[in-house]
Amino acid sequence: MPDHPPDQTACREWGFPSAAQVLRIEGADALAFAQSQFASDLRQLATGCWQWSTWLDAQGRVRALMQLAHHDEQTLIALLRGGNGEALAQDLRRYVLRARVRITPERVWLHAQPLVSGSDRSATRDATHLRLDAGTYALDLHTSDPGCNDHGDGRHAAALAAVRCGHVWLPDALLGDLMPPALSLLRLQAASLGKGCYPGQEMVARLHYRGGHKRRLARLRLPVPQAPGTVVEGDGSTALLLNGAADGTGWEALAVLSESTAPVRMSMQFIVIEEFSS
């Protein structure tokens, strides 16, 4: 553990970053292109709504995790839950071929607030921002800095709500490393078993029907904040920490758990509060 606790600014960024990346996917073939590349089923995505989605490599590893909003019949807006928008846009453009699609990365200012009761999966847009309603919290995406400050209790509460829902924000270093079951993506319907072919689809089906993947998503409680990407080891298990938030008595974080037979090198008392289905 660190000798000195992290400052409050760092802790806030470990829940939701103040800036994020989005991709605008536009054109007459935008929906068909996204349906062929992303693992979620866009046939279930109505205009004015969003869904969880992911882009996998051929081995089924998560290259990008996103909240994919259906703005209109020719426009999708993807909030990347980690990763570099320009790099991802360049990779996706390699598969456009003759499709009538434009893929444009944008930087946005991200604000978060808790909700007592939201309209889960709605995506509302006006001239200045896009709001993604996740039921217990909402994310507001501004294309220019609105000059407001939501770094207080509201942002903390929204980050904690996301952790308790099992909604991951991925450290960039883990992109291309984790399989969908490790992030509970079938539970979120970010990966489909019935939509047909997409990159990594065979591996998604194999892991679901044949099993054998030993990494799983869990919610932990730790005594002090820890940065995303930190690995802590306990009795018989290793926890790879993801996004987290203060819970009043300590720190709650999402983590990828795996069995460990190696000697414990860095021991920390952590409590597994719950494990999420794959």
Closest of 73, 78, 70, 66 to residue 49, by C-alpha = 70
What does the pLDDT read at residue 122? Answer: 96
What does the pLDDT read at residue 3? Answer: 47
- The mean pLDDT value of the chain amounts to 91
194 and 147 housed in the same domain:
yes
Report d(CA 15, CA 22) in Å as an integer: 18
Give the CATH number of the domain where residue 92 resides. Answer: 3.30.1360.120
CA distances from 7 to 139, 161, 162 (A): 23, 21, 21
- 58 occurs within a structural domain: yes
Indicate the burial class of 5 (C-beta count within 10 angstroms; 0-12, 13-18, 19 or more). exposed
- 3 occurs within a structural domain: no
Count of domains for the chain: 2
110 and 247 housed in the same domain:
no
Domain stop point among 157, 190, 210: 210
pLDDT digits 0-9 by tens, 93-130: 999 999 999 999 999 999 999 998 888 899 999 878 99
Domain stop point among 210, 226, 259: 210
| Host domain of residue 241 | 214-275
- 264 occurs within a structural domain: yes
pLDDT digits 0-9 by tens, 242-255: 999 999 889 999 99
What does the pLDDT read at residue 264? Answer: 46
Domain stop point among 192, 210, 228: 210
* Residue 266's pLDDT band (cuts 50, 70, 90): very low
pLDDT digits 0-9 by tens, 50-75: 999 999 999 999 999 999 999 999 99
Listed in sequence order, the residues at least 6 apart from 132 whose beta carbon sits closer than 8 Å to its beta carbon are 50, 67, 69, 79, 122, 123, 138, 139, 141
- Type of residue found at 202: E
**DSSP annotation string for 147-211:** -----SHHHHHHHHHHHHHT-----GGGTTT--GGGGTTTTTTSS-SSS---TTHHHHHHHHHH-
- 259 occurs within a structural domain: yes
* Residue 275's pLDDT band (cuts 50, 70, 90): very high
